[in-house]
Amino acid sequence: MPISYPAEKIANHFIELAAADGRLLTHMQLQKLVYLAHSLALALHDRRLVANNFYFYAWKHGPVAPHLYEQLKGTGAQPVHHLLPEAMPALDLDPQAQEVVKQTYEAYGRFDGWELRNITHLPGSPWSLTSEREAYGLIPDDLTRSYYRQLLNL
């Protein structure tokens, strides 16, 4: 079974991809990009990209991994200028995980945080269904997997 990773490790890969493009990402962009990459991994490969102890919750402005939020909350709406401290810095993403992050960045990396928020807020999305049921509730992986499989016509 493929390994899953701390949310910070996935966020750092997005920070590095953006830096290679001469760009910086904000906290909101990182939250949504990590969520979208996790969703894509669930849909395409039936695997959790983000480790089991990192869950996404339906917060007001979209899916949020609280541990990642704690790491980034001091940045506000400003771009993140540094890599995040990681629990497993020596562990590299496996090739499949790297490809999922790259595909997610290529598809969504050009959007600002509010545009990404709106994408995750679409009617029928895992965020909207969870929010309707319970404000700040846990977004189930099964719901995310089935929504993105349907979205991708899988």
Q: Within a domain: residue 121?
A: yes
> What predicted TM-score, i.e. pTM, was given to this entire model?
0.94
The ranges of the chain with pLDDT < 70 are 1, 87-90
Q: What is the pLDDT of residue 89?
A: 66
Q: What is the pLDDT of residue 1?
A: 64
Q: What is the pLDDT of residue 77?
A: 86
Q: Within a domain: residue 111?
A: yes
Given a contact cutoff of 8 angstroms between Cβ atoms, the answer to whether 148 and 39 are in contact is yes
Q: Residue 136, by phi and psi: left (phi above 0), alpha (psi -120 to 50) or beta?
A: left
Helix, strand, coil % over all residues of the chain, rounded to 5: 55, 5, 40
Residue-number span of the structural domain to which 79 is assigned? 7-151
Q: Within a domain: residue 81?
A: yes
Tell me, what DSSP letter sits at residue 49? S
- pLDDT tens, 86-100? 766 657 899 999 999
Q: Within a domain: residue 2?
A: no
Q: What is the pLDDT of residue 91?
A: 72
Quote the number of domains for the chain.
1
